[in-house]
Structure 1
Amino acid sequence: MSDISVANVMGMRSAILERNAALRNVAPSLPRATAGVGSVAGVGSVSFASTLDSAVEKVNATLEAEDVATEAYERGETNDIATVALMQARTSVSFEATLQVRNKLLSAYKDIMSMPV
């Protein structure tokens, strides 16, 4: 099955909240000129790109596991339709969430690029 569960999501949520709290504590102590994104991003050892890459890899693993389960059901190797349906629903939700993140990133990029200098 997939490694996406409520416990994993809650763990990721708490990690994000801890990282936000750490950034809030660091940002006020920085001088005004260096309090930009580049200086604050160096606080953690995990970059945005690596976080996004790992999330996409998890979604891809979920898609592959769902494909394997669906093909096994179609070949008659398993008769557990509930598990296959659950995996398909989980895959659909994770893929749609990935698309929404992509759309938000593209929208933010377009907004930044259209700002006057």
Structure 2
Amino acid sequence: MSVIRPGFGPADVMALRNQVLARSAALQEVRAASQQPHAASPAPAPAAGFAATLGNALRQVNAVQQRASDMQVAYERGAVTDIAEVMLARQEAGVAFEATLQVRNKLLTAYQDIMRMGG
């Protein structure tokens, strides 16, 4: 039995594939952009655990969103003239936020599953 709904053709599969590839590329760009400011600093100590890793990831998403906001304000003032660069920064921030929401949803689901197991 196929899980693909009727009318879902090869063009739909290719469109879905292209969306996945585009999001993957955007996430890689966000990660590269968030690591650039830290390149000049000394190597960080190993993470203390899950909470530290999660906190660090949230700070990186916040930095990407702040950068996009700063670029938008600079564009509105006329300091930045490349609208494509501003739009790309906004898209990166959106993708980073969506990824954060997905991680939150998975963590919440896992927590609820664990809470249901006890009893």
Scaled by the length of structure 1, what TM-score is found? 0.61
Instruction: Tell me the distance in 2 between the aligned counterparts of 1:89 and 1:45.
Output: 29
Q: Tell me: CA distance 1:45–1:69, structure 2 relative to 1, closer, same or farther (3 Å).
A: closer
SS at match of 1:4: helix
Alignment deviations for residues 34-57 of structure 1 (CA, whole Å, 9 cap, x no partner): xxxxxxxxxx75301100000000
Alignment deviations for residues 8-62 of structure 1 (CA, whole Å, 9 cap, x no partner): 6xxxxxxxxxxxxxxxxxxxxxxxxxxxxxxxxxxx7530110000000000011
RMSD of the TM alignment (CA)? 2.1
Alignment deviations for residues 43-92 of structure 1 (CA, whole Å, 9 cap, x no partner): x7530110000000000011111100001111212111111111111111
2:75 to 61, 73, 78: 73
Scaled by the length of structure 2, what TM-score is found? 0.60
Counterpart for residue 99 of structure 1: 101
Q: Give how far 1:3 is off.
A: 6.7
How many residue pairs get aligned? The number is 80
Written as runs of structure 1 = structure 2, the 5 A alignment for 1:40-55 is 46-55=48-57
Query: Contact 2:71–2:86 (CA<8 Å) still a contact in 1?
Result: yes
Gaps of 5+ in 2: 1-28, 36-45
For 1:4, give the aligned amino acid. R
Query: Contact 2:47–2:53 (CA<8 Å) still a contact in 1?
Result: no
Q: Tell me: CA distance 1:75–1:45, structure 2 relative to 1, closer, same or farther (3 Å).
A: closer
Written as runs of structure 1 = structure 2, the 5 A alignment for 1:1-117 is 4-5=31-32, 46-117=48-119
Gaps of 5+ in 1: 9-43
Instruction: Tell me the distance in 2 between the aligned counterparts of 1:94 and 1:58.
Output: 9
